[in-house]
Amino acid sequence: MKIENEKNIKDLFIGLDEKVCDSNGKCIDGINFDNAATTPPIKSSIEYIKKLSNTYASIGRGTGQKAEITTNLYKESKNFLMTFFNIKDKEKYVVIYVNNTTEGINKLAKTLIKEPNEIILTSRMEHHSNDLPWRNRGKVEYIEVDENGRLKIQELEEKLKTNYGRVKYVSLTGASNVTGYINDIHFIAKLVHKYDAKLIVDGAQLVPHRRVNISGNADNEQIDFLVFSSHKIYSPFGVGVIIGLKEDFANADPDYLGGGTVDLVLDNEITYLPPPDKNEAGTQNFLGVMGLINSLRIINTIGYDYIEKQEKILLDHTIKGFNSIPKLINYGDTNDISDRLGIATFNLENMYHHDVAEILAKKKGISVRHGWFCAHPYCRRLMNVSEADAKEFLENPTKKMLGMVRVSFALYNSIDEVNMFLNVLEDICLGKIK
């Protein structure tokens, strides 16, 4: 695919030219800066789904031409993903489809943790989806973040050393959905393997923006489990992916039971199929999977080098603009942004985060996210507020929940859009827009 200009990229996506209504009912051009939550789908992925609807049938259970086509494409999709993520020994891994990253991590929590005294290590940087599922399984210990919000790697090793033998799994985000910090997952993997544990990577934010090499480039750098979602990488809702070690699923009962998971059921005896079949109960979301695969093919064609370069330009321009607005409060490191995705969070002095977001959306059609982004412990640390302050709104009706405003970029966003956004922020600070 030849990338000639920004329009060439924008034309790949559905909905970017769709007008939105402002608070006066006027139709205006919209700007989507909420890509960390959900990205628009690629046009050809929707077209591919429509095409495959003509041969849509059951996977693995039907005897017929359409069922055979569907089953073969479904199986091929898993081989494609192993190649996409550079898995060298494909016999060691399985691909399991779920609904989203949240379900995927819940599945891992229910499958992998077997003893109540086992310790799972995670961090205070995590999205709730990589925190809450572990709280009900075994004992959770957290790695703290520093004053800028980066992971304290030394603390990770200390906890691994202190709890050697009790820590079987470490589950960490590949990149933060709040600050965009990218964790060095291969360095962390070597550290985790040094203490005979395995690494789970929440790749929901990382996979859309950086090439992930599951095998790594050296011994012990491999990622043991990767989880990510389709709706954050330019394909429709409804598909999540777990790529993980086959042996860990083979040695555990499935978390969901039902059709497609068994070899034989007797009156009082069950013989399960091997993974991944026993871990995908019920009828699979074939069309969603195919949409994801097509979107990943397009991403491969565009290239992660282009994506990284474009988003770095946008982030650098945004941070410089933020630093020039006197009443703007930045979160995270704004001096060294070399390890950040295209995500930035801020507040405006003496303005409530919801009000800022509403002005941006209702007055200028700029979509952002506000609140604490399903990462409350992390955001509380970034804002340097106590737990007492954080929960005051629950009991005091005159208080509001604390929060921030987040902008998050995708490969189709432009410098012109960033400039429009920065100009609006300046006007808000000057009282020109209310």
Residues 51 and 30 in one domain: no
Residues 56 and 174 in one domain: yes
What are the pLDDT digits (tens) for 304-325?
999 999 999 999 999 999 999 9
Pairing of strands 269-272, 262-266: antiparallel
Residues 70 and 205 in one domain: yes
Q: Which pLDDT value is given to residue 295?
A: 98
Residues 341 and 268 in one domain: no
Residue 62 has pLDDT above 90, yes or no: no
Residues 61 and 170 in one domain: yes
* Of 398, 432, 410, the residue nearest 37 (C-alpha): 410
Taking residues 230-237, what's their average pLDDT?
Answer: 94
Confirm whether 282 is domain-assigned.
yes
Confirm whether 382 is domain-assigned.
yes
What are the pLDDT digits (tens) for 135-171?
989 899 999 999 999 999 999 999 999 999 999 999 9
Residue 4 has pLDDT above 60, yes or no: no
Which residues, in sequence order, are CB contacts of 403 under 8 Å at separation 6+? 353, 354, 370, 371, 372, 379
Residue 7 has pLDDT above 80, yes or no: no
Beta bridge partners of 266: 269
Residues 59 and 208 in one domain: yes
Percent of the chain with pLDDT over 70: 98
Confirm whether 91 is domain-assigned.
yes
What are the pLDDT digits (tens) for 281-297?
999 999 999 999 999 99
Residues 26 and 59 in one domain: no
Residues 186 and 122 in one domain: yes
> If residue 48 lies in a helix (H) or strand (E), which one and from where to where?
helix 43-52
Taking residues 330-355, what's their average pLDDT?
Answer: 97
Confirm whether 173 is domain-assigned.
yes
Region label for 331, one of left (φ > 0), alpha (ψ between -120 and 50) or beta (otherwise): beta
The residue among 300, 327, 343 that closes a domain is 300
Residue 5 has pLDDT above 90, yes or no: no
Taking residues 387-393, what's their average pLDDT?
Answer: 96
Pairing of strands 167-173, 198-202: parallel
Q: Which pLDDT value is given to residue 167?
A: 96
Q: Which pLDDT value is given to residue 2?
A: 52
Residues 293 and 308 in one domain: no
Domain CATH number, residue 422: 3.90.1150.10
What are the pLDDT digits (tens) for 175-200?
999 999 999 999 999 999 999 999 99
Confirm whether 434 is domain-assigned.
no
The residue among 300, 317, 340 that closes a domain is 300
Residue 431 has pLDDT above 90, yes or no: no
Confirm whether 1 is domain-assigned.
no
Which residues, in sequence order, are CB contacts of 260 under 8 Å at separation 6+? 60, 61, 273, 277, 280, 281, 282, 283
Taking residues 327-344, what's their average pLDDT?
Answer: 96
Domain CATH number, residue 212: 3.40.640.10
Confirm whether 332 is domain-assigned.
yes
Residues 31 and 52 in one domain: no
| Domain total in the chain | 2
Q: Which pLDDT value is given to residue 3?
A: 56
Cα dihedral sign for 97, 129, 164, 157?
Answer: positive
**Residue whose tokens read 């933060």:** 176
Residues 52 and 25 in one domain: no
Residues 151 and 221 in one domain: yes
Confirm whether 310 is domain-assigned.
yes
Domain span at residue 407?
Answer: 6-41+303-429
Residue 415 has pLDDT above 60, yes or no: yes
The residue among 300, 316, 331 that closes a domain is 300
Q: Which two tokens mark 30?
A: 């919209």
What are the pLDDT digits (tens) for 27-46?
999 999 999 999 999 999 99
